């Protein structure tokens, strides 16, 4: 089956839904393709204790406030999943679940999107596929030698699985700190970070981070000096469970090890730590393989953009992958504005092509 449509949005997580909201408001015809069987994007796969780093009201998509979660200032991932499901329903966003886009090709005046659920010929495409499906592991000598359990952030669910075990958590970002805090009580934890962990002040949460990211983008856009953005403040939001473990003295980080061995980690000074499991909280890369036929990636694996629009393919917009597609665009509150800008540009493109 091949159908014609004005716009295909690839990805039905928060970014794809925000794009859908704005396309709908502008009267543009579109379909959203999502690889998963059910709503919620990456939030469906979060670990049990994950907490948002902003209160609900500051974690909202355009048009509809996230309702507070009873008994919690910082909602959990299940709350986000229900919010996203409700959002898609409320705005009647045409999301096709179980439709993974495999490839996007140029097809004369259109872009052809091939998916598990058929093909679409679109006048514009929004790619909003996130990063969760592309976990990143750093190259560390001996990484494949280790015989214990090897996991990434995406595989972690609950500390119960590791009770009494020796676990090495690698990574000094929010995932590393939250998972280390989660494990600190039940497991024998070694937390390893590239540099000394940098906790943000306790009263800083996602609200301030968003303001800082926006101020930075404005400064750069206006040609002013780089304000340094969020990274200049610290790396780790001290959400309550992290604060609690840190204050109990349970979150002491070791420097990064030099190599892995069959039984654990080894440092250059001869120190070793045996482990039953290693959890790599070492980040993600944008999931862009469906765009490979367009040949747009630069040496860093990114697609150069002006705002959200791909420089070398103006019918393609990228949404939600990180600051390079809009300030704080990989957050719930931050994706609204770039989604609006992308929808407006697409509507203008469709008008000129009419
Ligand atoms: C551990 C962690 C904690 C975070 N905490 C917060 C927080 O507290 N507050 C906050 O605002 N943000 C937070 N974020 C950041 C951000 O909100 C998420 O990364 C968010 O999930 C990104 O949304 P997205 O829609 O761009 O991508 P995703 O949520 O990953 O959605 C992408 C969707 O596209 C689908 N897809 C992928 N490839 C294809 C394809 N080829 N064809 C069709 N569909 C496809 C996927 O299945 C998925 O459903 C956190 C991120 C992480 C990793």
pLDDT in tens, 71-80: 988 899 999 9
Structure tokens, 180:
């280390």
179 with 153: CB under 8 angstroms? Answer: yes
* Residue of the CA atom closest to atom 7 of ligand 1: 52
Residues 6 or more apart whose CB falls under 8 angstroms from that of 63 comprise 21, 91
- Atom of ligand 1 at shortest range from CA of 51: 8
Mean pLDDT of the chain: 93
In three-state form (DSSP H/G/I as H, E/B as E, the rest C), the secondary structure along 275-322 is CCEEEECCCECCCCHHHHHHCCCCCCCCCCEECCEECCEEEEEECCCC
DSSP state of 159: G
Q: Partners of 105 in the beta sheet?
A: 112
| 14 closest CA partner among 325, 319, 307, 332 | 332
Residue 231: the pLDDT is 56
Res. 232 pLDDT band, cuts 50 70 90? low
Residue 228: the pLDDT is 60
Q: Is the CB of 74 under 6 A from ligand 1?
A: no
Structure tokens, 209:
């981070």
Q: Which residue has the tokens 């070791």?
A: 254
DSSP state of 231: G
- Atom of ligand 1 at shortest range from CA of 99: 43
φ and ψ at 173, to 5 degrees? -95, -165
| Average pLDDT over every residue of 224-247 | 78
Three-state secondary-structure class, residue 255: strand
29 with 304: CB under 8 angstroms? Answer: no
* Residue of the CA atom closest to atom 35 of ligand 1: 11
| Highest-pLDDT range among 46-50, 228-232, 287-291 | 287-291
Q: Is the CB of 326 under 6 A from ligand 1?
A: no
pLDDT in tens, 269-309: 999 999 999 999 999 999 999 999 999 999 888 899 999 99
Q: Is the CB of 69 under 6 A from ligand 1?
A: no
Interval between CA 130 and ligand 1 midpoint (Å): 5
Residue 230: the pLDDT is 56
Give the sign of the dihedral formed by CA 179, CA 184, CA 186, CA 192: positive
DSSP state of 340: H
What number of other Cβ atoms are within 10 A of residue 127's Cβ? 31
pLDDT at 202 over 90: no
Res. 219 pLDDT band, cuts 50 70 90? confident
């Amino acid at each position: 089956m091949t159908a014609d449509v004005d716009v295909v949005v690839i990805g039905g997580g928060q970014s794809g839904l925000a794009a859908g909201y704005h396309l709908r408001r502008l009267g543009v015809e579109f379909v959203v393709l999502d690889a998963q069987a059910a709503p919620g994007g990456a939030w469906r796969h979060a670990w049990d204790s994950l907490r948002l780093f902003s209160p609900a009201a500051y974690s909202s998509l355009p048009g509809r406030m996230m309702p507070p979660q009873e008994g919690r200032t910082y909602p959990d991932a299940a709350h986000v999943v229900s919010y996203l499901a409700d959002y898609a329903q409320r705005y009647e966003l045409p999301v096709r679940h179980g439709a993974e886009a495999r490839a996007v090709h140029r097809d004369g005046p259109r872009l052809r999107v091939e998916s598990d659920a058929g093909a679409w010929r679109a006048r514009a495409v929004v790619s909003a596929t996130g990063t969760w499906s592309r976990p990143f592991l750093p190259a560390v000598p001996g990484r494949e030698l280790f015989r214990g359990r090897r996991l990434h952030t995406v595989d972690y669910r609950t500390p119960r699985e590791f009770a009494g075990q020796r676990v090495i958590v690698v990574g000094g970002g929010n995932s590393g700190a939250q998972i280390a805090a989660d494990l600190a009580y039940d497991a024998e934890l070694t937390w390893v970070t590239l540099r000394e962990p940098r906790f943000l002040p306790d009263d800083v949460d996602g609200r301030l981070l968003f303001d800082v990211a926006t101020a930075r983008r404005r400064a750069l856009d206006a040609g002013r000096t780089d304000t340094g953005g969020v990274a200049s403040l610290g790396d780790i939001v001290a959400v309550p469970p992290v604060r609690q473990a840190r204050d109990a003295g349970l979150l002491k980080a070791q420097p990064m090890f030099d190599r892995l061995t069959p039984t654990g980690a080894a440092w250059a000074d001869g120190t070793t730590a045996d482990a039953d499991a290693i959890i790599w909280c070492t980040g993600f890369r944008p999931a862009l393989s469906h765009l490979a036929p367009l040949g747009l990636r630069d040496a860093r694996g990114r697609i150069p953009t002006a705002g959200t629009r791909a420089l070398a393919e103006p019918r393609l917009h990228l949404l939600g992958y990180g600051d390079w597609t809009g300030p704080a665009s990989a957050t719930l509150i931050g994706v609204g504005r770039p989604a609006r800008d992308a929808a407006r540009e697409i509507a203008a493109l469709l008008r000129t092509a009419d």
